[in-house]
Structure 1
Amino acid sequence: MNKILLTCYLVFALFGLTACSGTEPNQIENVQVPPVSVQLWSVKDAIEKDFKGTLKQLADMGFQGVEFAGNYGEFSDNPQGLKEYLNSLGLKASGAHVGFDGLRGEKLTPTLNFLKALEIEMVIVPMDSRAWSPDGVESLVAELTELSTKLAKQGMLIGYHNHDREFDPYQNLTFWDYIAKNTPQNVLLQLDVGWVNFADKDAIEYVKRYAGRTLATHIKIRNYHGPDRTPQQASPIIGEDQYDWASLIKTQAAVGGTRWLVLEQEEYPDGLSSMQAVKKSKLGLDKIISTL
């Protein structure tokens, strides 16, 4: 067994994962689909108006988990109360997006204590401009590496979530490759498929390239950006687009060590509200999953 595969298997043993880069093709066809969560940024307007009611509606849509994005509603000082409310809805906290500012200095311990009370294991940095800066990416890597050690002592994982700029060229590969290759195996890589596709890269290839590290994935179609990027033309509703979600999900389950599929909706077509768009994408994703 080569060194990379050995490292992969050791990480799986430590964190309870079940796949590795040596997965055979027939294993990809016989996989257990991970549960489905929703990134609460998708419905940030609804969350602001009615936190508890929005969570109930999401549970009624069939979501099994929620990924937090900094808003904990009336439970901002009561994580135990939030955990009890999630339990009453049959929801789990699949993870949380937390900026570096909340993970530095005196803020680190209270942040982790709050998340631990919610039984969150995956703490994911949503964005940092150093990730696509030749002058900043090394300090980003160093901070992720330091946090990986600190969080491991708490039974938790640090991770990073991409946008499209992380796939800009860097040192003959991309910034994303640099981050992956220069952080420990226990730094999770949360692929946002919408942004990967927008950057004209292959999400399936990246799941395979960094086996066991795609523990949570954002299921999303992204169509627009600023003036420096060319808009794409596809429905942002999952299942109405042309992307091969089935192959991606199979690869994630067999190779990525994926624990959660996290639906994220950032575009709301045809006058749909955020909740209506999320519901349509959830139905589309359910239909895809039913074929696996």
Structure 2
Amino acid sequence: MATPLGVQLYTVRDALAADRDGVLARLAGIGYTAVEPFNPTDDPAGFRRVADDLGLAVSGTHAIQLLDGETAPVFEAVATLGTDLAILPAGIPQEDFAGRDGIARAADLLNGLAEDAAKHGLRIGYHNHWWEIEPVFDGRHAIELLAELLAPEVELEIDTYWAAVGGADVPALLGRLGNRVTALHVKDGPAVKDEPHVAVGAGVMPVPEVLAAAPGAQRIVELDSCATDLFDALAASRAYLAGLGEA
């Protein structure tokens, strides 16, 4: 079992903007014990104080801000949050994954960020959407070609739902990527682009098989959108995962 069970805070982005401390307290009250922020430079010291007081670990943070210019302030904020993992969640042109040259450029970018991160004692990860999955080269998804070009220290956070939307057999893909995968976004829904997500366990995703394929990876619940109350869906997701022995 990978612990602690986390929440990607993009799920509750609107509520978070209105009342950060209250949202974190509510997530802790549901029973989550980790969070994954998406804006590390937004008051990292204050965020850390609240998370520590609530017993919430910061398992990692998305850091699209790494592409905005100078990386050092972003890495400093990541460290202040209390994690050593900065994850690039997007920012590489979608069309780059349609060809080998573009995939090589993506790998060069991530490898360079990993070198910079190491100077700060940090790690770099990459989070997929569907566009790294849909292109297939000789039976392999684009993300698999990317993985072959990445430096050993670059990690993958596989969004299992978007991998399914992109056409992957997700457990099989995770098996092929192996130990490169250190975190999973666990989400559920109809596996159709632009349709709202649902609580984990209430959609079409083969969640037990997906989790079994990456037993050591951090589990992070996320709902990009939801037709029901987000906090109810997060509570139902945690209850379902607890029933699988994942919380």
Do both share a fold (TM > 0.5)?
Answer: yes
Instruction: Find the counterpart in structure 2 of residue 252 from structure 1.
Output: 214
Q: Are 1:175 and 2:142 counterparts?
A: yes
Report the alpha carbon displacement of residue 97 of structure 1 after superposing the two structures with TM. 0.9
Report the alpha carbon displacement of residue 71 of structure 1 after superposing the two structures with TM. 6.8
- 2:129 corresponds, among 147, 151, 163, to 163
- 2:231 corresponds, among 268, 275, 278, to 275
Report the alpha carbon displacement of residue 103 of structure 1 after superposing the two structures with TM. 4.5
Q: Secondary structure at the match of 2:21?
A: helix
Q: Are 1:88 and 2:53 counterparts?
A: yes
Distance 2:105 2:167 in 1: 27
Q: Secondary structure at the match of 1:164?
A: coil
Structure 1 residues 55 and 235, CA gap change in structure 2 (3 angstroms): closer
Q: How many aligned residue pairs are there?
A: 242
Q: In 1, are the aligned partners of 2:88 and 2:127 still within 8 Å (CA)?
A: yes
Instruction: Find the counterpart in structure 2 of residue 288 from structure 1.
Output: 244
Q: Secondary structure at the match of 1:165?
A: coil
Instruction: Find the counterpart in structure 1 of residue 78 from structure 2.
Output: 115
Counterpart residue type for residue 172 of structure 2: E
Report the alpha carbon displacement of residue 190 of structure 1 after superposing the two structures with TM. 1.0
Where do 5+ consecutive residues of structure 1 fail to align? Answer: 1-31
Matches within 5 A, 1:179-190: 179-190=146-157
Q: Secondary structure at the match of 2:48?
A: helix
Distance 1:140 1:165 in 2: 13
Could you state the TM-score of these two structures normalised by the residue count of structure 2? 0.88
Distance 1:267 1:83 in 2: 26
Report the alpha carbon displacement of residue 235 of structure 1 after superposing the two structures with TM. 7.0
Report the alpha carbon displacement of residue 132 of structure 1 after superposing the two structures with TM. 2.2
Q: Judge which range, 132-141 or 206-215, deviates more.
A: 132-141
Instruction: Find the counterpart in structure 1 of residue 7 from structure 2.
Output: 38
Q: Secondary structure at the match of 1:102?
A: helix
Distance 1:200 1:133 in 2: 15
Report the alpha carbon displacement of residue 156 of structure 1 after superposing the two structures with TM. 1.6
Distance 1:175 1:96 in 2: 24
RMSD: 2.3
Instruction: Find the counterpart in structure 2 of residue 206 from structure 1.
Output: 173
Report the alpha carbon displacement of residue 114 of structure 1 after superposing the two structures with TM. 0.8
Distance 1:81 1:235 in 2: 31
Q: In 1, are the aligned partners of 2:165 and 2:193 still within 8 Å (CA)?
A: no
Distance 2:58 2:110 in 1: 22
Counterpart residue type for residue 146 of structure 1: G
Q: Secondary structure at the match of 1:159?
A: strand
Q: Are 1:125 and 2:94 counterparts?
A: no
Instruction: Find the counterpart in structure 2 of residue 262 from structure 1.
Output: 220
Structure 1 residues 152 and 206, CA gap change in structure 2 (3 angstroms): farther
Point out the structure with max Rg over C-alpha.
Answer: 1
Instruction: Find the counterpart in structure 2 of residue 25 from structure 1.
Output: none
Report the alpha carbon displacement of residue 244 of structure 1 after superposing the two structures with TM. 3.1
Distance 2:66 2:175 in 1: 31
Matches within 5 A, 1:196-235: 196-223=163-190, 224-225=192-193
Per-residue deviation, residues 1-44 of structure 1 (Å, max 9, x unmatched): xxxxxxxxxxxxxxxxxxxxxxxxxxxxxxx3332100001111
Q: In 2, are the aligned partners of 1:42 and 1:278 still within 8 Å (CA)?
A: no
Q: Secondary structure at the match of 1:163?
A: coil
Percent of aligned pairs sharing the same letter? 26
Instruction: Find the counterpart in structure 2 of residue 18 from structure 1.
Output: none
Q: Secondary structure at the match of 1:190?
A: strand
- The structure, 1 or 2, with the larger RCO (C-alpha pairs under 8 Å, 6+ apart) is 1
Report the alpha carbon displacement of residue 115 of structure 1 after superposing the two structures with TM. 0.8
Distance 2:40 2:72 in 1: 18
Distance 2:117 2:163 in 1: 27
